[in-house]
Amino acid sequence: MAHYVDGFVVPVPIEKIDAYRIMAEEAGKIWLEHGALQFVECIADDVKPGELTSFPQSVQMKEGETVAFSWILYDSREQRDAVNEKVMNDPRLKAMMEKGEPPFDAKRMFFGGFRTLVELGRA
């Protein structure tokens, strides 16, 4: 069965990783509540700068930062659109955004939606 994935890559100051984790846990619960199938946040462990491109280069990583790679899984793009509409109107998410600056540089974040092409695994 094909799925739909929203993918994200963001630079995160190393000193704000705990705040990022807390924010992601709160946001993830909201996405799951509104119908997302899976919400995953990963922090860089082995991402070296490349010759032409890499995760660090993609977000113009600065000294004292690392990279977070994240995805949200849905049944379909239609489901993603419906879930995201609910999430964006959820007062809890709005309250999180009003708390101040997020613990990452949103201007250097990149993201997009993807149809799965191959899905293998053990379930």
State both tokens at 107: 């201007």
Q: Is residue 122 in some structural domain?
A: no
Q: Which two tokens stand for residue 29?
A: 């619960």
For the chain, what is the domain count? 1
Question: What pTM does this model have?
Answer: 0.91
Q: Treating both helix axes as pointing N-terminal to C-terminal, what angle do 17-33 and 91-98 enclose, rounded to 10 degrees? A: 160
Tell whether 121 is covered by a domain: no
The reply to whether 72 falls in a domain is yes
Which CATH number is 46's domain given? 3.30.70.100
Is the separation of the CB atoms in 73 and 1 below 8 Å?
no
The pLDDT, as a whole number, for residue 87 is: 97
Confirm whether 39 is domain-assigned: yes
Q: Residue 74 belongs to what domain range?
A: 4-115
Residues 85/58/50/65 CA torsion (nearest 10 deg):
-100
C-alpha span between 35 and 79 (Å, rounded):
8
pLDDT tens digits along 67-100: 999 999 999 999 999 999 999 999 999 888 887 7
- 87 part of a folded domain: yes
* Contact between 74 and 83 (Cβ < 8 Å): yes
- Cα-Cα-Cα-Cα dihedral of 23, 28, 29, 30, to 10°? 90
- In a domain, residue 123? The reply is no
With a cut of 70, list the residues of the chain below it in pLDDT: 123
- What's the pLDDT score for residue 99? 79
**Is there a domain that residue 120 lies in?**
no
Contact 70, 64 (CB under 8 A): no
User: What residue ranges in 51-100 does DSSP mark as E strands?
Assistant: 65-74
The verdict on residue 90 lying in a domain is yes
Residue 31 sits at φ, ψ, to 5 deg, of: -60, -45
pLDDT of res. 96 = 85
